Every structure is written in structure tokens, then in C-alpha cells.
């Protein structure tokens, strides 16, 4: 709906006043035209009203929102609770079609357009981040773990006889479970410990050995991870990509929260140029600050993406798409760029203050060349006294005081996942001697957050020591 072509009587409003208003609408209309025709992420974010107007317009293209629609099917996107209808802007049909996430829906031109446009904008975003070798991407309405599983399933359809997945160990449950859920067999490649830096890197040699040992034909893919908790570094994806290419092996990259780190994007671009990455997967919640539930799969090969989409059984929620669409319009290029810059600055700040804290308390901050999000602090002095308090209580103390997201990694935690045992689970490797904690500077962290953290940490540290002394 708009006022073009409507002859609004002078009696209602003087024409000269009206014209100024209509001119302002035309500017808005040009923005919409540009968005739809060129599919470009707007330079500056849109205002809430503009975003909602477009979203409503899109929803109005779906048949359940036609005034005189008569539904004789088994699924007519009727919505019983009006609060639910309202929060979904009356979108009800979801995205995709029985066997393909990227297929258009005859009943739902608006949902189709929403999904296609969102994918186009995400592609723009990746380009903006420097990933020029990337040829396409799309949003999968499942979180990273399940989306990685979907990628593994898609790869299996192309390599039905391969069953091994070579996986550089990272102690995060869901990316490991993606392998077992798909009914595949993980081959765990432990990380290498850099003695001096006290940090962990990819054991590329071991990958090579395993490929030779098992034979490339029996291997479904190589599976690496970029963003991760300290003191593990981002995997050496360039080296693994080369290895994948030379062995004609698929390569899957878990880039969970890597879009927010320029260095990782650079590595991904390089790896695609000189080696092989079939799919790289990133979480929408961590990289775009939307609620949990979506992931972006990108590839330098459009056909691989089409294949992946066709492996998704049935239609899917459009809720995640809507969140991402609104967020991208709301931020615009400049908004997202400034989020990135701020995060980078605050990461530096967090790092410096952590090193300072470590110095003052005779602890260490492991050095990592390839981790620009997460930091670790050893907790050696706190546990030196035998029979002392359990170090994990430090985490609980912080949590109770409003600090969330700090992980305390104790020594000697053994975990079994789907029959596979992991020693020192949480530490990414078998040789941990000193417990530590990790903190991360992720998108949206603020300076007062950092101040408050050190204030609370200082207090808890002192209190922990006191209590331990008494015992």
C-alpha cells in the first residue's frame, strides 16, 4: 500500500504539505527497489519502521494473508494464537519445500522472497568480509551442530562408501556429536602442544599419516575448526585445505564464531584459493547477534550448496531467516563494521588486563598466534595447596556474581561421548597439568563489562585463597 496514484482531496490535507511527505516516501521506496533489484546490503542501517514495513509487505505476499484465501489443503498456515501470528509478522509457511531448502513455495511468494533475499544479503556480508572466493551461501534453520551433521550427510551422499571423518580435536561436544549422529566414525587427531607458548595447534602431520593409513577412499572428509576456546588455536585450515586438495578429499570447516575475526576470514579466503574447502559453517547467533537456532553454510562451489539444500528433508522454520534479515537491515554494512572494530579493540583491552592480572598473581596467559577471541589464565597458584578447594568452585563464584561465560577447566576430567573417551575434556588435549580459566571477547562486549569482570575476579580470587587457606 502507498499513496501514489491516490487522489487525496485538498479538503483532507493541503497539497503542498502532502507533497513533502510523499517525497520522503519516494526516498524510502528507492531503498526498497535497490535492495530487491540489486540485493545489496544497505550501507547504513534502516530504521525500525522501515524494516517492519518491508517485512509486513513480504508477508502480505503469502497466500495465508490474502483477504479472500480459501484453504483446502492439509497445511494452510493458519495461526491459532494471534500473539504468535504477530510475532511472526503473519509468516506461517516456513521456507523450502518437501525436499529442498532453497526451493520456492507456490503458496508463499513472500516467504520465498524473504529467504532468497536473506541468503543474498548474507553472501554480500561474506564478500564484505573479504571472502571473494566464496560463490554462495545460505542460512540453515538449525544451529551449528546439526548443520555440520547435515553437511556430513550431504558429503556421504556423494561418497557413500566412505565412513571416516578425520577431526582435529576440539572439546566442544556438539561438533563431535555431529559425526556420530550422522552414523559416521570419527578419527580424533589430537592437537600439538607448543611448550613455550602453552598453546595448541593442528597436527597436520598426523592428518597426513591417517590419510595414508586409512586410504582416501574410506575417508569421508577432513574436519577442522577455527574459532575455539583458548589455549587452542584456530586450526591450520590453509595446510589442511591443501592436504584435502592434493588427496581429493572433502574438507569441512566449523567456523562457529569466526566471522567476527578478520584473521580467520583471511585464512578462510586463503584456504579456498590454495586448497579445498567444501563447506564452512558459521553460527548466526554468535556472528550476527540473533537468538540461537541458525547457521550459515558457505562454499566456493554453488553446486555443492544446491546439493546440500536438497539433502534437507522437508520444509523448515523461517523464524531464523526473519531474525537475520531484520538484523542485517538494521545494522547495514557500517553497523556491522563498527561492531567488528569495537570487538577487536575490546579483545586487545581484555588481553592486556588479563596479562597484567596474571603478572600480579604469578599466573600465565598462554600465547596464541591464531586465536583472537578467547584467552586463558592459568590457575596454578590457586590449586598449589594440597587438599584445597575444588577449582571449579571459582567458576560458580563468578557465575553467582553475574559473570557468565567464564569457563574453569580442571585437570583430570574424563568424558565419554558416544563411546569415545576424552581425557582432560575441556582442555582439547591429553597433557594438561595446570587448571585454567577462559574468557572471550565476543561481538557486543563492552568496556564496562571488562571492568566489572576484573573487579569481581579480584574479589573472588582473594576469597577463594582465603577459604582454601583455612581448610
Binding-site residues for substrate: 97-98, 105, 315
The stretch near a second copy (CB under 8 A) out of 66-74, 190-198, 262-270, 362-370 is 66-74
DSSP 285-322: HHHH---S--EEEEES-HHHHHHHHHTS-S-B-SHHHH
Number of residues that bind a second copy (CB under 8 A): 162
Our CB check for a second copy shows the closer of 109 and 192 to be 109
Backbone phi and psi for residue 313, each to the nearest 5 degrees, phi listed first: -85, 105
Please tell me whether residue 7 binds a second copy under the rule CB under 8 A: yes
Q: Which of residues 90-149 bind a second copy (CB under 8 A)?
A: 90-94, 97-99, 104-110, 112-113, 116-117, 120, 141-146, 148-149
Contact 240, 204 (CB under 8 A): yes
Residues of the binding site for tRNA: 273, 401, 466
CB atoms within 10 A of CB 169: 22
Please tell me whether residue 73 binds a second copy under the rule CB under 8 A: yes
- Residues 257 and 289: their CA atoms lie apart, in Å, by 11
Q: Which of residues 259-278 bind a second copy (CB under 8 A)?
A: none
Neighbouring residues of 126: CB distance < 8 A, sequence distance ≥ 6: 134, 137, 259, 298
H-helix or E-strand containing 225? strand 219-225
Contact 428, 200 (CB under 8 A): yes
Contact 391, 410 (CB under 8 A): yes
Please tell me whether residue 2 binds a second copy under the rule CB under 8 A: yes
Angle (deg, nearest 10), helices 237-246 and 262-274:
20
- Residues 253 and 265: their CA atoms lie apart, in Å, by 12
Q: Which of residues 283-302 bind a second copy (CB under 8 A)?
A: 283, 285-286, 288-294
Residues of the binding site: 75, 97-98, 105, 273, 315, 401, 466
Cell numbers at 123, concatenated: 553472501
Neighbouring residues of 141: CB distance < 8 A, sequence distance ≥ 6: 95, 293, 294, 316, 317, 318, 319, 320, 321
Give the x/- contact pattern for a second copy in 179-208, rule: CB under 8 A. -xxxx-------------------------
Our CB check for a second copy shows the closer of 51 and 270 to be 51
Least Å distance between CB 14 and a second copy?
Answer: 5
Please tell me whether residue 374 binds a second copy under the rule CB under 8 A: yes
Least Å distance between CB 386 and a second copy?
Answer: 28
Least Å distance between CB 17 and a second copy?
Answer: 4
- Residues 287 and 259: their CA atoms lie apart, in Å, by 6
Q: Which of residues 9-48 bind a second copy (CB under 8 A)?
A: 9, 11-14, 17-18, 20-22, 24-25, 27-29, 32-33, 36-37, 39, 47-48
Contact 389, 435 (CB under 8 A): no
Least Å distance between CB 296 and a second copy?
Answer: 15
Our CB check for a second copy shows the closer of 122 and 316 to be 316
Please tell me whether residue 175 binds a second copy under the rule CB under 8 A: yes
Q: Which of residues 297-326 bind a second copy (CB under 8 A)?
A: 311-320, 323, 326
The stretch near a second copy (CB under 8 A) out of 272-280, 364-372, 385-393, 402-410 is 402-410
Interstrand relation of 192-194 and 415-417 (parallel, antiparallel or unpaired): unpaired
Query: Which of 43, 52, 205, 302 contacts a second copy by CB under 8 A?
Result: 52
The stretch near a second copy (CB under 8 A) out of 56-64, 193-201, 245-253, 299-307 is 56-64
- Residues 218 and 131: their CA atoms lie apart, in Å, by 31
Amino acid at each position: 500500500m502507498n499513496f501514489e496514484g491516490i487522489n487525496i482531496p485538498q479538503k483532507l490535507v493541503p497539497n503542498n504539505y502532502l507533497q513533502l511527505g510523499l517525497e520522503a516516501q519516494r526516498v524510502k521506496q528507492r531503498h526498497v527497489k535497490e535492495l530487491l533489484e540489486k540485493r545489496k546490503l544497505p550501507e547504513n542501517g534502516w530504521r525500525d519502521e522501515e524494516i517492519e514495513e518491508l517485512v509486513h509487505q513480504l508477508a502480505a505476499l503469502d497466500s495465508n494473508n490474502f483477504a479472500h484465501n480459501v484453504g483446502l489443503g492439509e497445511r494452510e498456515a493458519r495461526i491459532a494464537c494471534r500473539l504468535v501470528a504477530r510475532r511472526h509478522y503473519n509468516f506461517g509457511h516456513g521456507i523450502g519445500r518437501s525436499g529442498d531448502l532453497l526451493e520456492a513455495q507456490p503458496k508463499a511468494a513472500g516467504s520465498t522472497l524473504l529467504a532468497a533475499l536473506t541468503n543474498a544479503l548474507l553472501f554480500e556480508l561474506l564478500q564484505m568480509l573479504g571472502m571473494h572466493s566464496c560463490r554462495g551461501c545460505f542460512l540453515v534453520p538449525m544451529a551449528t551442530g546439526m548443520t555440520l551433521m547435515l553437511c556430513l550427510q550431504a558429503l556421504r551422499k556423494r561418497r557413500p562408501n566412505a565412513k571416516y571423518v578425520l577431526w582435529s580435536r576440539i572439546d566442544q561436544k556438539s561438533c563431535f556429536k555431529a559425526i556420530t549422529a550422522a552414523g559416521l566414525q570419527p578419527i580424533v587427531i589430537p592437537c600439538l602442544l607448543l611448550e613455550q607458548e602453552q598453546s595448541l595447534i593442528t597436527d597436520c602431520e598426523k592428518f597426513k599419516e591417517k590419510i595414508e593409513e586409512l586410504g582416501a577412499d574410506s575417508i569421508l572428509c577432513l574436519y577442522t575448526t577455527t574459532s575455539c576456546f583458548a589455549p587452542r588455536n584456530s586450526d591450520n585450515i590453509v595446510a589442511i585445505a591443501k592436504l584435502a586438495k592434493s588427496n581429493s578429499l572433502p574438507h569441512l570447516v566449523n567456523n562457529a564464531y569466526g566471522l567476527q575475526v578478520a584473521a580467520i576470514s583471511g585464512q578462510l579466503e586463503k584456504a579456498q584459493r590454495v586448497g579445498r574447502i567444501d563447506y564452512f559453517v558459521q553460527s548466526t547467533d554468535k556472528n550476527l547477534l540473533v537468538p540461537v537456532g541458525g547457521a550459515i553454510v558457505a562454499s566456493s562451489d554453488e553446486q555443492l550448496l544446491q546439493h546440500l539444500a536438497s539433502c534437507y528433508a522437508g520444509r523448515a522454520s523461517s523464524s531464523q531467516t526473519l531474525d537475520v534479515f531484520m538484523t542485517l537491515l538494521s545494522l547495514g554494512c557500517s553497523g556491522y563494521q563498527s561492531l567488528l572494530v569495537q570487538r577487536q579493540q575490546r579483545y586487545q583491552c581484555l588481553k592486556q588486563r588479563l596479562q597484567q592480572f596474571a603478572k600480579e598473581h604469578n599466573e600465565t596467559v598462554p600465547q596464541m598466534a591464531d586465536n583472537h577471541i578467547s584467552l586463558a589464565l592459568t590457575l596454578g597458584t590457586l590449586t598449589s595447596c594440597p587438599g584445597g578447594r575444588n577449582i571449579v568452585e571459582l567458576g560458580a563464584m563468578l557465575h553467582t556474581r553475574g559473570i557468565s561465560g567464564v569457563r574453569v577447566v580442571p585437570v583430570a576430567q574424563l568424558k565419554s561421548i558416544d563411546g569415545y573417551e576424552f581425557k582432560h575434556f575441556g582442555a582439547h588435549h591429553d597433557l594438561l597439568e595446570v587448571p585454567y580459566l577462559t574468557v572471550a571477547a565476543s561481538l557486543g562486549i563492552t568496556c564496562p563489562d571488562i571492568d566489572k569482570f576484573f573487579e569481581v575476579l579480584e574479589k573472588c580470587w582473594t576469597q577463594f585463597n582465603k577459604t582454601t587457606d583455612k581448610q
